[in-house]
Amino acid sequence: MSNTKGDFKKGDKRINRRGAPKLDPIIKQIREIERTELTLEFSKMLRMIKPQLQELIQNPQTCIKDLGIAKAILEWLKSGNFSYIQPYIEYIFGKPKVSIEHSMDEPLRIEYVSHKTNRNNRNIPEDTGK
């Protein structure tokens, strides 16, 4: 049975009408503890100097979570690219809310353009694969 759009029919017993199952409170507590621990480790490592981070990476006793954080911080310091530590920041603090404000004198016009026609309603030739 394929799992493509349109496989479900009205009254299908596979449809989950009650939504996602409730999360066990114990799992919620574990996730909160993990977030707290990650926050503490991340903030501690941000206060370290490069040699300390490198020593942490080379230590075979370093746990994987700390190893990942230390490597990400070092890569960020080397490259200046924030994307190395961005997942940790977003996990700890949440993704920032983005809002867009605009004002226009005339109403906004949205035009749907099919992939088979262009704006002047001329047919676009199909890709022949040649």
pLDDT at residue 69, rounded to an integer: 94
Q: What is the pLDDT of residues 87-129, one digit of tens each?
A: 998 888 888 787 777 777 777 777 766 555 555 555 555 555 5
pTM attached to this predicted model? 0.56
Average pLDDT over residues 69-75: 95
Rounded Cα–Cα distance for residues 23 and 28 (Å): 7
State what percent of residues in the chain have pLDDT above 70: 80
Question: Is position 104 within any domain?
Answer: no
CA 32 to chain centre: 19
- Residue 30 falls inside a structural domain: yes
Task: Name the burial class of residue 73, with classes exposed (0-12), middle (13-18) and buried (19+) by CB atoms within 10 angstroms of its CB.
Answer: buried
Q: In whole angstroms, what is the distance from residue 122 CA to residue 101 CA?
A: 35
Q: Give a yes or no: residue 3 inside a domain.
A: no
Q: Is residue 126 part of a domain?
A: no
How many CB atoms are located within 10 Å of the residue 36 CB? 11
The DSSP line for 89-103 is HHHHH-PPP------
Structural domain for 45, as ranges: 25-93
- Asked if pLDDT for residue 47 goes beyond 80, the answer is yes
- Is residue 14 scored above 90 in pLDDT? no
**Number of domains the chain contains:** 1
CA distance 93 to 72: 17
Tokens 């700390």, residue located: 66
